[in-house]
Structures are given as C-alpha cells and as structure tokens.
Amino acid sequence: MLLISSLARAGAPTSPAAAAYRRGLEALRKSDIPAARTAFEKAVKLAPTDAAAQTSLGWVLAQQGEMDSATTHLRAAIKLRPAFASPRITLASILTQQDKAPEAEQHLRAAIRAEPLRESAHGALIRVFLAEGNQMEALEAFTRYRAMLKTELGIEPTAQLTSLVANLGRRHSDP
C-alpha cells in the first residue's frame, strides 16, 4: 500500500489526503507551523493509516509544546510502520525531556537498526546517554558510529555530532 506522503512527493494523482499532506509540507517550508498543523490534521483525518502524516503531525505538535498529543501521533506512526526511524527519533526527544531515558533509548536503538547510517538517530542516542550522565556510553556510541561511517562511506561524523563528545575523555588534561 502506498502512503499518501509517497504519493504527494511522487507527483501522483492527487487524493484529498495527499493534497493536505503536500500543503503541510509547503507550510513547513515557509515556517508556518499553525498552517502545517491544520494541513497535517486533515491528512491524518483523511488517511489515519499514513505513518508519515502521523509523524509530521506529531512533530508539529511537539514544536507547539503539545507533548501528549505529539506522543499519541508518533506512537501511532510507529505502530503503523515499526521500521520508520523519524517518529522514533522525535518521540525519543520528547521522552528524554520527560526523564524517560530507558524508553527513549529503546526507540533510538530501533531507529538505528532501521537506518544504521542516520546521524540524527546516533546523535539523539548520545544525547540520551549524556542526559543520564553516562559519558562513557556516549563516547562509545560515538566511536562505534564514527567507525561505521569510516568503513561504509569513508567520511567522518559532522562537526555538530562531534561537538557532543568533544570534551569527553579529555579529563586527564584538566587541572
């Protein structure tokens, strides 16, 4: 079954749900969060089994501070498409803010299994470890990801990810 989000991106014949989703994406490009919310709510109402629409609505709701509603839509997206990394990463961010690090870690590990090279998932996992005070686990997660990137793509992690762990392991040189 094709998702409305796939139809919207592919330029397929427009269904009302795909058109609503497309309006939501356009609103996000314009940084119009309220319009995006309205459009994604319509897309979800018209196609409640579309994981991307549920994810997008969950993300917008989180941006508006409506964490309970965001969590509901993100969990719906995960139930619909368990290997979809995006809702897991967003949900993990919310769970980390709510001091639910073990559940956040579970979702991030599942996201990493689904998309092993996705830096945002690895970065979020490192942030969970740091939020828990587990610096060694954060450094080990970074080291594993860095090695995988080097092996698979011959590249280094971004400066943004590297900065998360830049001062870990340098304690021996501190006064």
Point out the domain boundary residue: 81, 96, 115: 81
Which of residues 53, 81, 109 is at a domain's end? 81
| CA distances from residue 82 to 37, 45, 74, 88 in whole angstroms, order as listed | 23, 21, 11, 9
135 and 106 both lie in a single domain? yes
Shared domain check, 105 and 71: no
Note whether 170 and 105 are same-domain residues. Answer: yes
Per-residue pLDDT of the chain (175 residues; tens, 9 = 90+): 334 444 344 444 469 999 999 999 999 999 999 999 999 999 999 999 999 999 999 999 999 999 999 999 999 999 999 999 999 999 999 999 999 999 999 999 999 999 999 999 999 999 999 999 999 999 999 999 999 999 999 999 999 999 999 988 664 444 4
Domain count, the chain: 2
Same domain, 75 and 7: yes
Q: How far apart are CA 71 and CA 63, in angstroms?
A: 12
Residue 88's Cβ-count burial label (10 Å; 0-12, 13-18, 19+) is buried
| Residue at which a domain ends, from 81, 97, 120 | 81
- Does residue 52 share a domain with residue 96? no
Q: Is 13 left (phi over 0), alpha (psi -120 to 50) or beta?
A: beta
pLDDT at 168: 83
Print the domain residue range for 24. Answer: 1-81
Same domain assignment for residues 53 and 108? no
Judgement on whether residues 103 and 146 belong to the same structural domain of the protein: yes
Q: Are residues 56 and 127 in the same domain?
A: no
pTM: 0.85
Torsion of CA 145, 95, 39, 49, to 10 degrees: 80
Residue 10's CATH number: 1.25.40.10
